[in-house]
Amino acid sequence: MDFEKVGQELHQFAAGLYPICRSITGDGIRESLARIKSLIPLQIFEVPTGTQVFDWTVPKEWNIRDAYIADGAGKRVVDFRQSNLHVLNYSIPVHETMPLRKLKPHLFTLPAHPDWIPYRTSYFKEEWGFCLSHNQMLAMTDCDYEVCIESSLEDGRLSYGECFLPGSSEQEVLISSHVCHPSLANDNLSGVTVAAFLAKLLSGRNLQYSYRFLFIPGTIGAITWLARNRKSVGRIRHGLVLTCVGDAGGFHYKKSRQGDTEIDRAAAHVLHHSDESWEVLEFSPYGYDERQYCSPGFNLAVGCLMRSVWGTFAQYHTSADNLDFIRPLSLAKSLRVCADIVNVLENNYRYRNELPYCEPQLGRRGLYQSTGGQAGGEDIMARLWVLNLSDGKHSLLDIAERSGISFSILSEAAEILSDKGLLSKVSEDERIGTTGVIARDECNLRRS
């Protein structure tokens, strides 16, 4: 992968999405989905306001045209046209003149970073407000201000997009990223972008698993999708939530609720063999949409890949999470890690050693050093490990974890040994399963 070139491409795509004022519903998310659809096949779904989705209800649709606070002279001291973060997301319309004293409870600032605008929302409580830099607020005087939010909050639809790439098996890998944040780059245009380019990368390939990419509003979108797909969710074998994958920090992989699934182990393995710093985090029921996928009724094998962890970097949910905060190289390497994880999932075969009694004679097949008395290299060690552990029970990932050798080298060794007739693959059906599976939510949590 040409990281420089790919990175530029990814960053440009994120930059195109950046100015749009997204929210959990409305035209901003529609415009964003349209841009993603220009890159990959995408089916867009619209779910009416009022639809019951488990314990939640699809909210009214929010749209906004303009918003500002103007001083007595009519000068905009806070202006939505400068940054869509200035409006408390989901603000109801307002047009009034009021003194600063009365306005203040509606203003949100970050005193610790006086030049940054915070990002705040009020989805489920009807409210209006402005977010502004602390310095902007300090510059305001005790006079009357004209306050205007030209928004609408009306019955409409919640939009989301799905990109489905069919594979040999009906079993699925889910890649989910939230696409509801306005001008914030790392959280989560980075996730949206890497997911979209991963879909593009995979769309030309012969795949074992089917892949489903979701571009959805956070929380309510994931809940809506799960409610609408409850019967088929049992097909999901592995999943990843992608967020905050564009900054300069090292990787963090947060494990699924189950904690020891194949995706958890594949992600840890790939990060371990990457050239970047990384850490594996335990599951916790806070964060992004893994909260929903890992709720106890579903308990899916879905982890979350990040670079810097949400909430731990100063720029999080502020105007400083901008296009400078995400790096082309970081985006490209995140895409590489995702592709490597997919590669593990796709190729994590179990094999049977066809000559399991003693070692086969590799030398006469040209697979061993011919002069005895000195040790072989990693390629020979990979062959020996694959032969030794291929008893039909150990997957290549098991062998990778035990041997310390990277999956890709072992996978190559397995291919060579298979070509020589020394290994046979455990059948694809036995490995992945290709027939319909009873939806997990139907058989889970029964009280019997």
367 by DSSP, 3-state: which?
coil
State which residue, 54 or 428, has the beta carbon closest to a second copy: 54
Q: How far apart are CA 215 and CA 28, in angstroms?
A: 13
Residue 268's closest CA among 406, 413, 411?
406
Scanning 53-61, 65-73, 133-141, 320-328 for contacts with a second copy by CB under 8 A, the matching segment is 53-61
For the CB of residue 383, give the shortest distance to a second copy in the complex, in Å.
9
Phi, psi of 65 (to 5 degrees): -105, -40
Task: Tell me which residues in 159-198 interact with a second copy (CB under 8 A).
Answer: none
Residue 20's closest CA among 221, 180, 243?
180
Run of H or E residues at 145: strand 144-154
Burial of 73 (0-12, 13-18, 19+ CB in 10 A): exposed
Residue 304 as a binder of a second copy (CB under 8 A): the answer is no
Residue 290 as a binder of a second copy (CB under 8 A): the answer is no
Question: Which of 191, 234, 246, 360 touches a second copy by CB under 8 A?
Answer: 360
Scanning 166-174, 203-211, 326-334, 390-398 for contacts with a second copy by CB under 8 A, the matching segment is 390-398
Phi, psi of 332 (to 5 degrees): -65, -40
State which residue, 262 or 354, has the beta carbon closest to a second copy: 354
The string of DSSP codes covering 218-251 is: TTHHHHHHHHHTGGGGGGEEEEEEE-S-SSSSPE
**Contact partners, residue 309, CB within 8 Å, separation at least 6:** 244, 252, 281
Residue 120 as a binder of a second copy (CB under 8 A): the answer is yes
Question: Which of 355, 378, 428, 443 touches a second copy by CB under 8 A?
Answer: 355
For the CB of residue 394, give the shortest distance to a second copy in the complex, in Å.
9
Residue 93 as a binder of a second copy (CB under 8 A): the answer is no
Residue 58 as a binder of a second copy (CB under 8 A): the answer is no
Residue 227 as a binder of a second copy (CB under 8 A): the answer is yes
Structure tokens given for 386:
């694959």
State which residue, 190 or 403, has the beta carbon closest to a second copy: 403
Quote the distance between the C-alpha of residue 85 and its chain's center: 22
Q: Compose the 124-143 pattern: x for residues touching a second copy by CB under 8 A, - for all others.
A: xx------------------
Question: Which of 35, 228, 352, 420 touches a second copy by CB under 8 A?
Answer: 352
What's the N-to-C CA distance of the chain in angstroms? 52
Strands, sheet with 350-353, edge to edge from the N-terminal-most edge strand: 391-395, 350-353, 423-425
State which residue, 111 or 372, has the beta carbon closest to a second copy: 372
Scanning 72-80, 91-99, 133-141, 282-290 for contacts with a second copy by CB under 8 A, the matching segment is 282-290
Residue 297 as a binder of a second copy (CB under 8 A): the answer is yes
State which residue, 301 or 342, has the beta carbon closest to a second copy: 301
Residue 47 β-bridge partners: 158
Burial of 292 (0-12, 13-18, 19+ CB in 10 A): buried
Question: Which of 330, 334, 353, 395 touches a second copy by CB under 8 A?
Answer: 353
Residue 64's closest CA among 75, 79, 52, 49?
79
Identity of residue 268: A
Chain residues binding a second copy by CB under 8 A are 53-56, 89, 108, 118-125, 219, 222-223, 226-227, 230, 257, 282, 284-286, 291-292, 294-299, 311, 317, 352-353, 355-361, 363-364, 370-376, 381, 384-385, 387-392, 402-403, 441, 444-445, 447
